[in-house]
């Protein structure tokens, strides 16, 4: 069943992705980010982790997305502990729709889904070290820098790995 949220942002609707949305999501990815994925990659995440793959709509147009997967990893916080974690694989909002709180809302919805629907204890993401706006946003949401991954991106730029502990709702 698809999940939709009433927008906390005027004129925006947030809902889980549908397979028919993937071409629009891929277009946003290509416009906003240098790292692009195949249709099959988007489709796999939409099918395997649909409750943590969200889109933002304004005037019935998809203007942003966040997609995640669930993994078993060594904790980013507790040495040698294995944790179920949400990996925020990609998030993007079209340039003309930025600074409206859409990315913040997408991240919060994804983190809630990763916690409630998938039982994740942590979430993490990689961000370009030069992307100061994104790093600032992630810090405001509660992510903390954990390590630098040298030459992570295809162009050789380093990535900052950031993580947050997730709290189950009582």
Q: Whats the size of the chain, residue-wise?
A: 170
Both tokens of residue 159? 């990535």
Q: How many domains does the chain have?
A: 1
Task: Count the neighbouring beta carbons within 10 Å of the beta carbon of residue 166.
Answer: 22
Cα separation, 23 vs 106, in Å, equals 19
Identify the CATH number of the domain in which residue 130 sits: 3.40.630.30
Q: Tell me if 144 is assigned to some domain.
A: yes
Q: Tell me if 136 is assigned to some domain.
A: yes
Q: Above 80 in pLDDT, residue 169?
A: no
Reported as a single tens digit per residue, the pLDDT across 36-56 is 899 999 999 999 999 999 999
Reported as a single tens digit per residue, the pLDDT across 115-153 is 999 999 999 999 999 999 999 999 999 999 999 999 999
- What pLDDT is attached to residue 161? 98
- For the chain, the distance separating the N- and C-terminal CA atoms, rounded to the nearest angstrom, is 23
- What pLDDT is attached to residue 2? 42
Q: Tell me if 151 is assigned to some domain.
A: yes
% of the chain surpassing 90 pLDDT:
89
Cβ neighbourhood burial of 84 (10 Å; 0-12, 13-18, 19+): middle
Banded model confidence at residue 11, pLDDT cuts 50, 70, 90: confident
CB contact at 8 A, 64 and 104: no
- C-alpha distances in Å from residue 25, one per residue of 36, 65, 160: 11, 7, 24
Mean predicted confidence (pLDDT) in 104-118: 97
What's the domain range around 21? 4-165
DSSP conformation class of 105: H
Q: Tell me if 155 is assigned to some domain.
A: yes
Q: Above 90 in pLDDT, residue 9?
A: no
Q: Tell me if 53 is assigned to some domain.
A: yes
Q: Tell me if 21 is assigned to some domain.
A: yes
Q: List the alpha helices (DSSP H) in the chain.
A: 22-32, 39-48, 102-116, 132-141
Of 109, 167, 165, 159, nearest to 134 by C-alpha is: 159
Q: Tell me if 82 is assigned to some domain.
A: yes
Q: Tell me if 170 is assigned to some domain.
A: no
Largest Cα–Cα separation, the chain? 47
- Computed over every residue of the chain, the mean pLDDT equals 93
- What pLDDT is attached to residue 1? 36
CB contact at 8 A, 118 and 84: yes
């Amino acid at each position: 069943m698809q999940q939709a949220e009433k927008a906390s942002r005027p004129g925006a609707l947030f809902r889980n992705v549908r397979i028919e949305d993937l071409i629009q999501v891929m277009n946003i990815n290509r416009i906003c980010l240098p790292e692009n994925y195949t249709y099959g990659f988007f489709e796999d995440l939409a099918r395997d982790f649909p409750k943590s793959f969200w889109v933002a709509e304004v005037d019935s147009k998809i203007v942003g997305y966040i997609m995640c997967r669930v993994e078993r990893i060594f904790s980013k916080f507790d040495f040698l502990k294995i944790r179920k974690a949400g990996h925020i694989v990609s998030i993007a909002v079209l340039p003309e729709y930025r600074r409206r709180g859409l990315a913040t809302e997408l991240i919060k919805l994804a983190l809630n889904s990763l916690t409630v629907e998938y039982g994740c204890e942590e979430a993490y993401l990689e961000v370009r070290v030069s992307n100061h706006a994104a790093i600032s946003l992630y810090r405001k949401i509660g992510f903390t820098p954990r390590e630098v991954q040298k030459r992570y991106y295809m162009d050789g730029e380093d990535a900052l790995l950031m993580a947050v502990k997730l709290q189950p709702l009582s």
